[in-house]
Structure 1
Amino acid sequence: MALSKDEREAFLAEPQHVGALSVSAGTDRGPLTLPIWYHYTPRGELWVLTGSGSRKHRLIEAAGQFSLMIDRVEPTTRYVAVDGPVSRIEPGTDAQLEEVTRRYLSGDAADRYLDFARENLGEHVAIFMTPQHWLSADMGSF
């Protein structure tokens, strides 16, 4: 059964769902699809952080759009997929890094990851997407 607008936006905004991001990788191969941490506020934009100049960054910038899908299997089997245009790309901030990290990790694990990211991952960009198309369903429990 399809989710209502409020249900799908609330599900997308729940913490700890790792997204599967897809972006066109050109006409001679399938899309680049990979797991990614993201942030979403209902009725707002979705954003991801990625390395500045990374393949993902370059492909998203070239395509001008991307898709993101999340799912779960408990307590019910549910998914939400969204795609839309890139609304802007800007330098990532430490506040964004902290916000998205603490969405997925807590306590010491978050602190250790933040230390690692700040020391080893280099500059990031924040890529914002305006959700335009939604697919969603909750198929109940099995």
Structure 2
Amino acid sequence: MPRQMTEQERQEFLSEPHVAVLSVARGGDRPPHTTPVWYAYEPGGEVTFFTGTQGRKSRKAGLVHDAGTLSLTVQREEFPYGYVTVEGTVVGEERPPSFDRALTVARRYMPEEAARGFVEAEFGHPASEFVLFTVRPDRWLTFDFADEAG
């Protein structure tokens, strides 16, 4: 039977380099804006993610700024399945982020040299709207099938 994760399990799971799915209110009668994002998290801390990459205007940056709250879901896509959803409050917005904070996120998903190149390219893009958000986890939802694997 699937079970909820312990606090330590959910924090460790979130600290792994999953791709998160971000959902943020859009307002009016439209459904939430939902999109994948790269993020960084250390157990007990806050979640950071960036948007506005490759010089493109980011619809989600404005929505996150306006809403002030959001949900992020990460999942294990193979058996034993599991997921963590964090509902949180936006507590920081850096436009542009520091090089090191952006690199902290990028290096979770790419080898060091590629991550540095990616971040350097973002800062070098003339139309960059690069922004890093910091989110305080307020509520956690979890599910884990790990006990079913045995």
1:33 aligns with 2:34: yes
1:64 aligns with 2:68: yes
Q: 1:56 & 1:7 partners in 2: Cα distance?
A: 29
**Structure 1 gap ranges (5+):** none
Q: 1:50 & 1:114 partners in 2: Cα distance?
A: 12
- How many angstroms does 1:113 deviate by? 2.9
Aligned length: 141
Q: Which amino acid aligns with 2:140?
A: W
1:10 aligns with 2:15: no
Pairwise mapping of residues 1-142 of structure 1 onto structure 2 (< 5 A)?
Answer: 1-14=3-16, 16-51=17-52, 54-74=58-78, 76-91=80-95, 92-120=97-125, 122-140=128-146, 141=149
Q: Say if 1:41 and 1:107 are closer, same or farther in 2 by CA, change over 3 A.
A: closer
Q: 2:90 & 2:117 partners in 1: Cα distance?
A: 31
TM-score (norm 1): 0.88
Root-mean-square deviation (Å):
2.1
Q: 1:94 & 1:107 partners in 2: Cα distance?
A: 13
Q: 1:64 & 1:113 partners in 2: Cα distance?
A: 27
Report SS of the residue matched to 1:136.
strand
Identity of aligned residues (%): 37
**Structure 2 gap ranges (5+):** none
Q: 2:112 & 2:43 partners in 1: Cα distance?
A: 26
Following TM superposition, the consecutive aligned residue runs of length 4 or more in structure 1 with deviations greater than 6 angstroms are: none
- How many angstroms does 1:54 deviate by? 2.5
List per-residue Cα deviations over 1:70-96 (Å, max 9, x = no partner). 001335211000111111212311112
Q: 2:21 & 2:141 partners in 1: Cα distance?
A: 14
TM-score (norm 2): 0.83
